[in-house]
Structure 1
Amino acid sequence: MNSQTNPRTAGINGRPWGARARDWADIQEGGCRPVYLAVFERVGLRAGMRCLDAGCGAGMASQIAAERGALVSGLDAADNLLAIARERVPAGDLRVGDLEGLPFADHSFDLVTGFNSFQFAGNPGLALAEARRVTRPGGHVAIVTWGSPEGMEAASLLAALRPLLPPPPPG
């Protein structure tokens, strides 16, 4: 953990996200499956790729990646959600932690995903820098948030990033 990490982020965010972990996993998370599949298709996820699911929650995206043969690591703030993720991905390297201080070596992953997670980081800019740090050159960082641009929690984060990003692909 570096000196710019807010060590309380996982503790603060983990409690509310983990409060109804089983309800999220059993009732809500299935609605996210098409998004997970679309991202994995877009980046060409295949067997042997190293994937970090940053903010993995109950682990449905991690499970899908593992079923496709990816080597999966995950990080989340909520112990209760990680317990479910560990049931779904027993071979995964799943850890409690903060997005602002990823406990992985530089260039460790072919793909880093953030499904509805980076906007909750205590320092989103640092969290994004960490995602970039652990992604190998030529790898992918895929961040997804839910909702219309006007109403989503990550709107300010995306507005700040817009000048730094290439144009989106067609489609």
Structure 2
Amino acid sequence: MFKYLVTLVFIIILMVSVASASPLQKGDKFPNVELKGELKDNQIEYLGLQGAGPWKIADIDADYIVVEVFSMYCPHCQKEAPYVNKLHDKLLKIDNSKKIKIIGIGAGNSEFEINFFKEKFKIDLPLFSDADLNINSNLGGTGTPHFFLVKMKDSNLKTVYSHPGRMKNCNDFLKKITNITGR
């Protein structure tokens, strides 16, 4: 009987903690989480990072950063991958300095899974592993996909846009983030 009672209490605590978690919203401080992953030289250069990593979000040389939280097992993320690639390409074309950059964080995904996702969907933007869901937890336990637009200012990271789910239309999403950033 005691075993069942302990199990029931554990399940209730787990349900309450999951129900109370919510993703970061506009105006929330964005955590300066550690980024782990195997990046190509051009991706390290794109982000303006130094050394071999791991890095922190604040190490990225940008005015703003789009952070996509995804999972290789998420069918919506798989369908979204070509549009995220297009968004990355469009940001590269309109933004030749350090204004807006984009990264992906694989929630619950190992480096092996990230590399599989990169190859399968021909992803060129920098992707980082979050195998232990530590980053996801710091972002409020968000579902996938979820997009954050983060203002980077003197290591004071601020969420200026939080978008759960698919972006639906790459051009509309780009217009939304460029309106927010004034670019």
- TM-score of the pair, normalised by structure 1: 0.30
Greater CA radius of gyration, 1 or 2? 2
Greater relative CO, 1 or 2 (CA 8 Å, sep 6+): 2
